[in-house]
Structure 1
Amino acid sequence: MKTYAITASILLGSTIAAHAEGQLNLYNWGNYTSPEMIEKFTAETGINVTITDYDSNTTALAKVEAGGSGFDLVVPSANYVPIFVQKGLLAELDHSRLSNIGNIAPEWVDVPWDKGRAYTVPWLWGSTGMAVNTSVYSGDINTSEIFLDPPPELVGKINITPEMSDIISLTIYNVGGEACTEDLTILKKVRDRLKAAKPSWLSMDYGTTDKLSSGDYAASVNWNGSTLRARINNPDVAYGYPREGYPLFMDSVGLLADARNVDEAYAFLDFIMVPENAAMMSSFARYANGITGSEEFMPEDMKTAPEIVVPEEFASAGRFLPTCPQSATDLYTAIWTDLVK
């Protein structure tokens, strides 16, 4: 375990001590928090940050909903923010305590999942697509067929990220449906395609960056920033945008309703909306952020990276996932449960 200027707890499901002066407990996606940014925050505020990692929105929701986690802040994706709010798991933010709230770029303020940013502030945003090692497969990578009907070169070498929303949505789009569909004809096709494809997969793993870099995975359903990090390590890695449709996401930080370290949480929320600090987050994880003025602090290679700058022909295929009604979620969960067993 690496320790920077933070105390990192990376065991999924671990419980953190509840309250201590000058402490903050952040529950975030794994390999997604800039150590340098945390060091700077601690140096400026004296607040020590403990980070616990998760690998999917469903994992985070279940842990927080169970209660007694000791976490202060959580970072759900756009389609999960309304679920956290509806379940009473997030506290409404006091904007008077956030001097940098005006730094949120206008297009990320009145977002469908959190109008006026009543409950969250932006973390990072991006897309879910196909990461492929082009030294193994040199064909078309801009299709979800990469994981649903893999070419022979990729059979047994593909990883699937364990995020139900992304995988189900990619497959729904592939068979001609729309997000949140409850059309049983469409969902039968989704189930059948996933079950038929699974024997061709190697794994369903969150930690893809290193394994794409090393060549352990020849392909993966993956996020654009993670794929960019892998390409920096291994130039053979390329990112494909499925023409059938692919999810866009924005992860946002919310204050948990049962947070104990509230003052520390507000200090952190305000800190990450400073343009230079938001750029540190982007520079580490390699995703865009939602803070005006951060661009000048961003790495030059991100400004033209194909994982960040979407080719025009595939731009319209990217769609932010809505929050599905519980009836649809139940159908997707049944498919997912059957798939992963």
Structure 2
Amino acid sequence: MAEGELNIYNWGNYTNPELIKKFEETHKVKVTITDYDSNTTALTKVKAGGHGFDIVVPSANYVPIFIKEGLLLETRPDQMPNFKNVDKKWVDVSWDPGRHYTVPWQWGTTGVAVNTSAYAGDPNTSAIFLDPPKELVGQVNVVPEMADVMALTIMYAGGKPCTDDKDLLRKVRDILTAAKPKWRSMDYGMTEKLSNSDVVATVNWNGSTFRARLKNPKVVYGYPKEGYPVWMDSVAVLADAKNVENAKLFQNFIMDPENAALISAFARYANGIAGSDKFMPEEMKTAPEIVVPDAYKAAGTFLPTCPKATQDLYTAIWTELQK
């Protein structure tokens, strides 16, 4: 039995309150959650120090950056009792070989979401936001996640994620610069806005789109045929965490299939824990946002961690775009 506190720093609208309540009651720990809207935001805040967080949930391509910067604690999840439940394909991962730092939270894809009452064409293309059809001009949102947006644009321009081809990157910059005046916003948190029809097209994640569709059947998810990112977010303990033992308890707790299913049932993404399926809502098993159509499977690419020099090139384009 533990006691005390746990401070979790996670993506907004991504944590099931039921999961937290169950953890609090099981371990007598008071949990506080603080939201962020992008990997860059989380990394910047954690690097600055003095944040008071114990846990962070970075995407796979950011985990090696956190590790290299000395920001994560090696908690050895591979030695925890519930590690046996991790699906084999998520054990020896490139961003954390053998899982010495992180445990799976959720995984999914980044594509586009459109409201079919505003646009009846093919949603399976990044042209939705990079060269919007006239009925969507001024109506498009782009989530402020640099790695995803850059990867989508690079693949649209015919390149591969993490390319450092200067000519191609100039093309990418030009595509984004020309597209931006046709956007409405660059905001995070599209689930409610999509379901309320406040936004009719956006770059978005599959689970968020799934949640919006459950409330508004006119929302559809598109897998860009030019290429789209596949990702996994994982739970890591911060090197300067104050509540290390409680954070480790949480890592072990979410590797329990029933608890992993709670995570997925709320945010509507797959989770990487074997045996969690039988605790999942039935509609998760057939949802088009979760089960990638065969025609678009090959277009998905798991985002690698780009070398720092390449990352710097992307950041320069991204910074310019946000002016």
Q: Kindly tell me: are residues 109 and 97 of structure 1, through their superposed partners in 2, closer, same or farther at Cα, counting changes over 3 Å?
A: closer
For 2:62, what is the secondary structure of its paired residue?
A: helix
For 1:90, what is the secondary structure of its paired residue?
A: coil
Q: Kindly tell me: are residues 95 and 196 of structure 1, through their superposed partners in 2, closer, same or farther at Cα, counting changes over 3 Å?
A: closer
CA–CA distance in structure 2, aligned partners of residues 182 and 95 of structure 1: 34
Name the residue aligned to 2:290.
308
CA–CA distance in structure 2, aligned partners of residues 142 and 123 of structure 1: 27
Q: Of 3, 18, 22, which aligns to 1:40?
A: 22
Name the residue aligned to 2:139.
157
In the TM superposition, what is the alpha-carbon distance from 1:102 to its structure 2 partner?
1.1
* Paired amino acid for 2:304: P
For 2:71, what is the secondary structure of its paired residue?
A: coil
Q: Tell me whether 1:77 sits opposite 2:38 in the alignment.
A: no
Alignment of 1:330-341 (within 5 A): 330-341=312-323
Q: Deviations over 1:23-44 (max 9, x none)?
A: 0000000000000110111111
Note the residue ranges of structure 1 that are not aligned, 5 or more in a row: 1-19
For 1:79, what is the secondary structure of its paired residue?
A: coil
CA–CA distance in structure 2, aligned partners of residues 95 and 135 of structure 1: 46
Alignment of 1:126-165 (within 5 A): 126-165=108-147
In the TM superposition, what is the alpha-carbon distance from 1:207 to its structure 2 partner?
1.3
Counting matched residue pairs gives 322
Q: Deviations over 1:300-338 (max 9, x none)?
A: 001000000000010011011100011101100000000
In the TM superposition, what is the alpha-carbon distance from 1:246 to its structure 2 partner?
0.2
CA–CA distance in structure 2, aligned partners of residues 128 and 195 of structure 1: 21
Name the residue aligned to 2:175.
193
CA–CA distance in structure 2, aligned partners of residues 112 and 325 of structure 1: 14
Which 4+ residue blocks in structure 1 deviate beyond 4 angstroms?
A: none
CA–CA distance in structure 2, aligned partners of residues 97 and 129 of structure 1: 35
Name the residue aligned to 1:254.
236
In the TM superposition, what is the alpha-carbon distance from 1:69 to its structure 2 partner?
1.0
Q: Tell me whether 1:205 sits opposite 2:178 in the alignment.
A: no
Q: Of 76, 81, 87, which aligns to 1:94?
A: 76
Alignment of 1:48-87 (within 5 A): 48-87=30-69
For 1:202, what is the secondary structure of its paired residue?
A: strand
* Paired amino acid for 2:135: E
For 1:276, what is the secondary structure of its paired residue?
A: helix
**Mapped contact 1:97–1:266 kept (Cα < 8 A):** no
Q: Tell me whether 1:231 sits opposite 2:213 in the alignment.
A: yes
For 2:160, what is the secondary structure of its paired residue?
A: coil
In the TM superposition, what is the alpha-carbon distance from 1:94 to its structure 2 partner?
3.1
Q: Kindly tell me: are residues 138 and 38 of structure 1, through their superposed partners in 2, closer, same or farther at Cα, counting changes over 3 Å?
A: same
Note the residue ranges of structure 2 that are not aligned, 5 or more in a row: none
Q: Tell me whether 1:296 sits opposite 2:278 in the alignment.
A: yes
Using structure 2 for the length normalisation, give the TM-score.
Answer: 0.98
Name the residue aligned to 1:270.
252
Q: CA RMSD in A?
A: 1.1
Q: Tell me whether 1:167 sits opposite 2:167 in the alignment.
A: no
For 2:129, what is the secondary structure of its paired residue?
A: helix
In the TM superposition, what is the alpha-carbon distance from 1:241 to its structure 2 partner?
0.2
Name the residue aligned to 1:280.
262
For 2:150, what is the secondary structure of its paired residue?
A: helix
CA–CA distance in structure 2, aligned partners of residues 62 and 209 of structure 1: 25
* Bigger Cα displacement from structure 2, 294-303 vs 86-95: 86-95
In the TM superposition, what is the alpha-carbon distance from 1:186 to its structure 2 partner?
0.4
In the TM superposition, what is the alpha-carbon distance from 1:99 to its structure 2 partner?
1.1
In the TM superposition, what is the alpha-carbon distance from 1:298 to its structure 2 partner?
0.5
Name the residue aligned to 1:124.
106
